[in-house]
Amino acid sequence: MKTVCVLTLGWLLFDSEMTFKNIAGMAIAIVGMVIYSWAVDIEKQRNAKSTPHGKHSMTEDEIKLLKEGVEHIDLKDVELGDTKP
pLDDT at 47: 79
In the chain, which residue ranges form alpha helices assigned H by DSSP? 2-14, 20-50, 60-71
CB-count burial class (<10 Å; 0-12, 13-18, 19+) for 32: exposed
Task: Spell out the domain ranges in the chain.
Answer: 2-73
Model confidence at 20: pLDDT above 80: yes
pLDDT at 74: 65
Beta-bridge partner residues of 83? 76
